[in-house]
Amino acid sequence: MLDPLNLENMSWHTQDSAATFLKVSSSADGLSQQDAQQRLEKFGPNRLRPAKKKGPLARLLMQFHNVLIYVLLGAGVVTALLGHWVDSGVIFGVVVINAIIGFIQEGKAEKALDAIRNMLSQQAMVKRNGKFINLPAELLTPGDIVFLQSGDKVPADLRLFKTRELRIEEAMLTGESVPVEKVTQPVAEQATIGDRKCIAYSGTLVTYGQGQGVVVATGDHTEIGRISGLLREVQTLTTPLLRQMATFAKWLTIAIGIIAAATFTYGVLLQDYSAGDMFLTAVGLAVAGIPEGLPAIMTITLAIGVQRMARKHAIIRRLPAVETLGSVTVICSDKTGTLTRNEMTVLTVATGAGVCEVSGAGYDPHGTFSLNGEDVTPEAFPLLREVAQAALLCNDASLSEVGGQWLMQGDPTEGALVTLAHKAGLEHNYCQHQFPRTDAIPFESQHRFMATLHHDHAGHGFIYLKGAPERVLEMCHQQRMRGEDVPIEKAYWETCMHTMASRGQRLLAIAFKPVAAGQQSLSFSDVEVGLTLLGVVGIIDPPREEAIQAVRDCQSAGIRVKMITGDHAITARAIGTQMGIGDGITVVNGTDLETYNAQQLEDAVQRSDIFARVSPEQKLQLVTALQAAGEVVSMTGDGVNDAPALKRADVGVAMGHKGTEVAKESAEMVLTDDNFASIAHAVEEGRTVYDNLKKSILFILPTNGGEALIIIAAIAMGRLLPITAAQILWINMITAVTLALTLAFEPPERNVMQRPPRNPKEPILSGFLIWRIIFVSLIIVTGTFGLFLWERQQGAPIELARTVAVNTLVMFEIFYLFSARYLLAPSLTFEGLFGNRYVLYAIGLLLVFQLGFTYLGPMQTLFATTAMSAEAWLRVIVVASSVLFLVEIEKLLLRKYSKAE
């Protein structure tokens, strides 16, 4: 009997066909229906088991598990205890809205595993009772014989035992641009997934030919099932901002609690206040110290960042990822479809008359030719045109324009040759009409070439042949040279091919042979001798031009860019050299990574920037090793093989056009234009978001500090409180939703992409920010408490003195807002005063609120305020404006000090 465990641990790529049939207890005739049913009961259906999911209620409750939310809930409870139900309702409303947004986003994230399950084939051609029948793919079981042909999606992991020109596109697993030619011979034990040419993997696509294989793994035991398992196990890390804000909120809460308790004790024991009065005072102190509006400001700032990024083709799926982008220190990028176009392109045409470079990328047939650095036309270089014509006619692919996009049908390599012919001015249908194909020898791995027989309308017959250069050179005894055939110079061609191959190009040789006019069929004997070599073309999946610049932008911002691909090392090195990634020499292979211990792996990720032939587990290991070294990692990708690493990374970035649904659902960000350059824009926006959050904190906390110090000063001096708890709550809420919110709209500062990434371990409150908060808090408490005492000394009633104190505090915030727009740059400039129109709108709105607070009867009743005279307003404005000038003087001194340093 078959043991599922033995099958799971088997290295099928090392077994020959006979051994494979023996181990799965099957044969080329397949299983009987009865045997297949018994195995299906033992192994289970060929589908991926769904992941365990949290229930909707548990997912909703988890949205509240955050220290910031606890602080906000505490503020809501305090305001409710004070009887201010409207304010309390606003606070609880913010919490609920945050929870709903998080709940919806998390629900979307769980679709990642569903997306993988949907990638499996729905139907399969299976041999049962000695005959091929069509069955649902989920009924497959180990030992079944499956027939594959062009266009099929592979339904399970198969050990191939019969192939006929079988090519399978495996980019979703390996990242390799070109379909893999499959064989039946076993390969070495240490061969990576991309080199296991005798295995057809579940979910990959057959692009050409036919084949038969025996099922060796189904469902969760397939390669795609293993990746699904990895995805379930990957732990999603919290973002640096949330970690910092959680720490900040925790310490702020502890500090406020200690200060409130100390104030209560001091007031009761040393100032003889009643316990009831001091309890209300302690509550007022807590309300003063808690920045109620901060979580809302943080959410809104992130949401504005999301909107800005969307306009730059970057869709954020999880809100905190916006800020995380700003602290990224390493971007690990997949190659195929991310840094490159995933469209094969002819870059070089070597002929006997010289080596020609071809411009343009992808299947868009616009480009030019240059010889020895000078532009050349196909008309002036007939041999180039002849190579292009041969490449077009000895070809089964086609090119068409649909809605402004050029689409290729057929093999990607042949598509690149058709594009070359279009660039040379040849029209496909016209050439086929002028030189109709009479017969052909299709490409087969045994002979490694394709040949076609053509005739023109004058009756001339000729053969075009293309294939592996080393094979074609054996068949050629002549080469075309300026309109005549001369003996072949093999040393010249070997030099050309070595240069082209070292640039990561895949090579194809193209040859010609005239035949008799009456010949209507083509045989192998016709091409064994007498061929003339026309040229050798070099083909590669080229890098995106805009991605090259984006890599430079990231590097200038202090971000290392690493290429992690499943493709071959030579190709990866060539693309890396063109893009400015790596040193042009060092490439670490997946086979090497398998032998590394933890320390060697950490050393490798620090010293190397290009990793080739890596498996999904190794991508995950590399990301994890970088994170262990303290890096904040962004991982880009588009295939199923990228999904675990995308999920693990601090910011996973998926491609929107060519990315699989699995990759998109595993990522925090999706690029709608599949353009690496959009990542650089997103990083800039992320840094701006963090700057603006820092400015918001720097603006909000001095107000809270000033309020708390006013209460402490009043208790210490045995005075009546200058501001009541309800008035404090009014100030906090009204300024948070007006003034502080405007800082979320601040544009990027000029040097945002020239400075290095911030240290993710750096606390949100640096020494400089703490100094600024204390400095501004002292200015606010001095001015506000001073005016309150002055009003009382002039005989003003307590209601008027408190109204003056509240309006002084608000005016302090208005003037301080201008300074807070820049951390160190001067604000007393036209740009500083008028550069953010939202600042002016918010000030106007706030003044309306304050006039209502001061003069409207219901507000006077609710907050115990009274009308102020014009002279009182003038005193308030003069005193409050001092904060702008004092902070600007402080900035000037700090700038001079930093220059001196």
Non-local CB neighbours of 113 within 8 Å, separated by 6+ positions = 48, 50, 51, 228, 231, 232
Q: Please name which of 580, 571, 572 lies closest in space to residue 549, comparing C-alpha atoms.
A: 580
Residues 553 and 569: their CA atoms lie apart, in Å, by: 25
Q: How many CA atoms lie within 13 A of 373 on its CB side?
A: 0
Assigned token pair, 557: 């911002």
Burial of 285 per CB tally in 10 Å (0-12, 13-18, 19+): buried
664: region left, alpha or beta (phi > 0 left; psi from -120 to 50 alpha): alpha
Bridge partners, 350 (sequence order):
355, 536
CA dihedral 466, 472, 475, 480 (to 10 degrees): 70
> Which residues on adjacent β-strands are paired with residue 633?
330
Catalytic residue set: 334
| Beta carbons of 155 and 120 less than 8 angstroms apart | yes
Which residues does 131 contact at the CB level (< 8 Å), separation at least 6? none
- Both structure tokens of 867: 């009308």
Which residues, including other chains, have CB under 8 Å from residue 359's CB and lie 6 or more apart? 367, 368, 369, 370
Count CB atoms within 10 A of the CB of residue 240: 23
DSSP letter string, 261-319 = HHHHHHHHHTS---HHHHHHHHHHHHHHHS-TTHHHHHHHHHHHHHHHHHHTTEEESST
Structure tokens at 372: 């020895």
Contact 264, 279 (CB under 8 A): yes
| Closest CA relative to residue 175, chosen from 582, 637, 577, 590 | 637
CB atoms within 10 A of CB 735: 24
Tokens in use for 798?
Answer: 């307590």
Q: Which helix (H) or strand (E) holds 548?
A: helix 545-556
**Cα–Cα distance, 827 to 201 (Å, whole number):** 62
Question: Strand pairing partners for 391?
Answer: none
Residue 802 neighbours by CB under 8 Å, 6+ apart: 722, 723, 724, 727, 788, 864, 865
Residue 122 DSSP label: S
| Residue whose tokens read 């070599």 | 533
Strands 345-351 vs 531-540: parallel, antiparallel or unpaired: antiparallel
CA distance 709 to 193: 66
**In this structure, what token pair is assigned to residue 701?**
């906390």
97 Rama sector, left if φ>0, alpha if ψ -120 to 50, beta otherwise: alpha
Note the helical H segments in 31-170.
Answer: 33-43, 56-62, 67-81, 85-109, 111-117
User: Cα–Cα distances in Å, from 73 out to 241, 700, 789?
Assistant: 20, 18, 34
Where is 469: in which H helix or E strand?
helix 469-475
Q: Token pair of 228, please?
A: 């699904």
User: What tokens appear for 709 in the block?
Assistant: 């110090």
| Alpha-carbon distances of 260 from 257, 337, 662, rounded to whole Å | 5, 58, 51
- The pairing of strands 437-441 and 449-455 is antiparallel
* 159, containing H or E segment: strand 157-169
Residue 489 phi/psi, 5° resolution? -105, 90
Q: Which phi and psi (to 5°) does residue 74 adopt? A: -60, -40
